[in-house]
Amino acid sequence: MTKIDFTRADFPENFLFGAATSSYQIEGHGFGGAGPTHWDSFAATPGNVVRAEHGLRACDHYHRFEEDLDLIKAAGFDAYRFSTSWARVMPEGRGEPNPEGLDFYDRLTDAMLERGLKPCVTLYHWELPQPLADMGGWRNRDIAGWFGDFAEVIMGRIGDRMHSAAPVNEPWCVAWLSHFQGHHAPGLRDIRAAARAMHNVLLAHGTATQVMRGLGMQNLGAIFNFEWAQPVDDSAAAQDAAALYDAIYNRFLLGGVFKGEYPAEVLAALEPHLPEGWQDDFPVIQSPVDWCGLNYYTRKVIAPCDGPWPAHEEVDGPLPKTQMGWEIYPDGLYKFLHRTAAEYTGDLPLLITENGMANPDVLQNGAVADPARIAYINAHLAKVKQAADEGVPVAGYFLWSLLDNYEWALGYEKRFGLVHVDFESLQRTPKDSYKALMFALTR
Ligand code: IFM
């Protein structure tokens, strides 16, 4: 079995190692009185999700969370990054909370603490309550207030025991992937919807941050996803196309939170669609945070193309790929760590809040050999260490994901877990990558 090339001693003092998941992807949304979400209706619409799979049972973490936390603990992780489902806590999105939902997150929190695991919560990882989607969801500016109320309710219950909290996972996915590209719920392909969602998701982030500060919570962060934009060739047109992709994907949301401004080349197209008075929202959007989370998986090779703005497209790249078809490019993580600190966050701690790979893992004789995943983790940890050695204030690394789970529009086929899940029996089997990490972290 191949091994992890590093031990804790290779990383800065108090560096956190953790495993990450999200509510809709593992819990089983059919249990415990959760309300319908826009993912349920998106998945029920033909053509949106592979085999129209949904999250109603998922990994049944709702009933099996003790077993799952035991796995996190046994691997030697320090922390568990999980998310809270808005629709489980408030089935209508507003108003009356669901006591069963609040009790679930309360028990989950205490079960982490009993095992000595640090609870790192993300409040929203994409399952918008359907009644709020019906009112325009992320297109409606009122969502910032609705989200603030949700933050008050859920953190009023468990916030006192959180090690860290971040309002929204991957705002680019919430806004652009879901409202411009149409790949995720609500499946819109509309520049006006996308522009509004890009802004409103940051307003919601800032509003919830202020609510949590008001509750006395500390160690609050913001989590963004990043993809390195590689021009397809040396032409000026390709350089410009990649720069625009970078501005939309990597710079817009980070710039909103840490600079109080949006990149000019993106504003040129989005400004006519932004809600009136959008500039006045930056004091809320820029509510101070204590750390910045980077979710990193891959790069994209970008070429110019004909058609309306942004007039660029992703093209096939030459590097080895994961089961997602994503190129393996650890240098991108290194470059983003340096760039984020140098241009946006300064001395603020940076955490890699997601990194990992999907692999067509097969359970054979009670084991899963996944040397490709071990190699992927080694290659990325090497870049994290290099950046840390060079002075970037990187403070932690979370694997995506603990379990094989619901990979959104791609259903259950793409396996990201350190632990294999049989989606018939729901049996969990630690893969070789889990065992290799366990060896490295408990040494
Ligand atoms: O599964 C997702 C997760 O929900 C958010 N970040 C990327 C992962 C892999 O696609």
Residues facing 120 on adjacent strands? 81, 164
Whether residue 206 contacts residue 149, with contact meaning beta carbons closer than 8 Å, is answered with no
Q: Name every residue whose Cβ is closer than 8 Å to that of residue 405 and which is 6 or more positions away in sequence.
A: 21, 22, 25, 26, 58, 59, 412, 416, 417, 421
CATH number at residue 127: 3.20.20.80
Q: Six-digit token pair at 169?
A: 């996972």
Does the beta carbon of 68 sit less than 6 angstroms from any atom of ligand 1?
no
Can you give the pLDDT at residue 250?
98
22 CB near ligand 1 (under 6 Å): yes
Q: Phi first, then psi: give them for residue 212, nearest 5 degrees.
A: -65, -40
User: Does residue 2 form part of some domain?
Assistant: no
Number of domains in the chain: 1
Residue from 354, 373, 401 whose mutation best tests the ligand 1 pocket (most atoms within 8 A of CB): 354
Longest pairwise C-alpha distance within the chain: 61
Query: 300: part of which helix (H) or strand (E)?
Result: strand 291-304
Q: Which atom of ligand 1 is nearest to the CA of 405?
A: 1
Residue 1 covered by a domain? no
DSSP character for 100?
A: H
User: What's the pTM value of the predicted model, to 2 decimals?
Assistant: 0.98
**Helix pair angle (432-442, 371-389), 10° resolution:** 40
Let me know if 170 is a catalytic residue: yes
CA angle, residues 372, 374, 376, in degrees to nearest 5: 70
- For ligand 1, whether the C-beta of 353 sits within 6 Å is no
272 CA from centroid of ligand 1 (Å): 31
The CA 117 to ligand 1 mean position distance, Å, reads 22
Per-residue model confidence (pLDDT) at position 324: 98
Q: Give the residue numbers spanning the domain of 42.
A: 8-442
Catalytic-residue membership of 114: no
pLDDT along the chain (443 residues), means of 10: 94 98 99 98 98 98 99 98 99 98 99 99 98 98 98 99 99 98 98 98 99 98 98 98 98 98 98 96 98 99 98 98 98 99 98 99 98 98 98 98 98 98 98 98 94
* CA 403 – CA 409 distance, rounded (Å): 17
Q: For residue 63, what pLDDT is reported?
A: 98
Using left for φ > 0, alpha for ψ between -120 and 50, and beta otherwise, residue 76 falls in left
Q: Does a structural domain hold residue 16? A: yes
Taking Cα atoms as reference points, which of 371, 397, 375 lies closest to residue 384?
397
A 10 A CB-CB count for 434 gives 25
Please check whether residue 3 lies inside any domain of the structure.
no
- CB-ligand 1 contact for 83 (6 Å cutoff): no
